[in-house]
Chains A and B, each alone.
Chain A
């Protein structure tokens, strides 16, 4: 059952990777970055699962799951939100200068 969760994480990661590699629109690249980040976070949380575990809240009945990946994921979510915000700000700046967010057209303008 846990393998399905891993497979989902990898699938989502690959969707994000394909988006980044294939799209020339800068906004779509940022969206791909976000999707890739979600895949990585899913992988981290899944790695903390223990067979038959309960949430790490006291009082616990039985074996708790690993709380350390949850704490790391919280950190990673905040940092991911920060870098997406900064990337979007840069894309807006690019759009103001070149009036387009298409990577090919921006290169064309440069020459």
Chain B
């Protein structure tokens, strides 16, 4: 009861804070600069993508390294677990349905990644869609099927390649003398705003981040599900032992 009152009090306090704010009519600060100059300076139609991958590219590199650190941490915590069992998967109908859906899901993810500089989307979202495909395979067909189709080593390679590609694109700007992760200033072609081939390095950075996020999230899920299956197997054998007694 006291906790509930505490939460209500904090909520009321926060509400007093936002209720005092005015409804803004215009934008000031760096955001106004981005809105005015994005089309000219980067050639990207999606201003959010331009901010993420051009104006604040180093932030995004740090963000990608957070995912990398998480994958390392999860893999390190579960490094010793050896496992033999695999989940059996779901019924025949679910298997047929998912195998019908997977190509469309892959197409959807690729479209989100490749058109990230024109429409809402980008590497992070598309990478999450790709990770969802592998998670679906893992649940519906069982984890050993997923492991045999997409090897964990391949995922690690894809993730590392994505990270290296990102840093390499940043290094191109450094070599051109325009600074790390420079876009049009480093000589990447700007193109026509709204075209598929436009916005310089932003589509390439989207692809790099998509590789990294897709492989990284998939690896996290896979290492966890492996351990859970191991525990489930232990519990099942315990139950079976009890039944015999």
Contacts and interface: CB of A to CB of B under 8 A. Distances in A.
A59 B231 CA distance: 54
A60 B193 CA distance: 13
Interface residues of A, number: 47
Nearest to B75: A89
Contacts of B73: 86, 89
Contacts of A43: 18
Interface in B16-70: 18-19, 23-27, 30-31, 34-35, 38-39, 45-48, 51-52, 56, 59-60, 63, 66-67, 69-70
B67 A13 contact: no
A89 B97 CA distance: 31
Given A10-B15, A58-B47, A51 B63 contact: no
A64 B63 contact: no
A67 B34 contact: yes
A49 B22 CA distance: 11
B228 A92 contact: yes
B13 to A, nearest CB: 9
A98 interface: no
B10 A17 contact: yes
A82 B70 contact: yes
B6 interface: yes
B24 to A, nearest CB: 6
A11 B124 CA distance: 28
Contacts of B227: 92, 96
A70 B4 CA distance: 32
A90 interface: yes
B24, B120, B194 — most chain A CB neighbours (10 Å) = B24
A3 B74 contact: no
Nearest to A60: B35
Contacts of B213: 78
Contact of B18 (A6, A49, A79, A92): A6
B70 A10 contact: no
Interface string B185-198: 00000000110000
Contacts of B120: 55, 57
B217 interface: yes
Interface of A: 2-3, 6-7, 10-11, 13-14, 17-18, 21-22, 43, 48-51, 55-60, 63-64, 66-68, 70-71, 74-75, 77-79, 81-83, 85-86, 88-90, 92-93, 95-96
Q: What 4 A-B pairs are tightest by C-beta distance, nearest first?
A: A82-B70, A56-B47, A14-B11, A71-B51
Given A22-B3, A75-B52, 11 more contacts: A7-B15, A56-B46, A57-B45, A58-B38, A58-B47, A60-B35, A64-B27, A66-B27, A67-B47, A78-B63, A79-B63
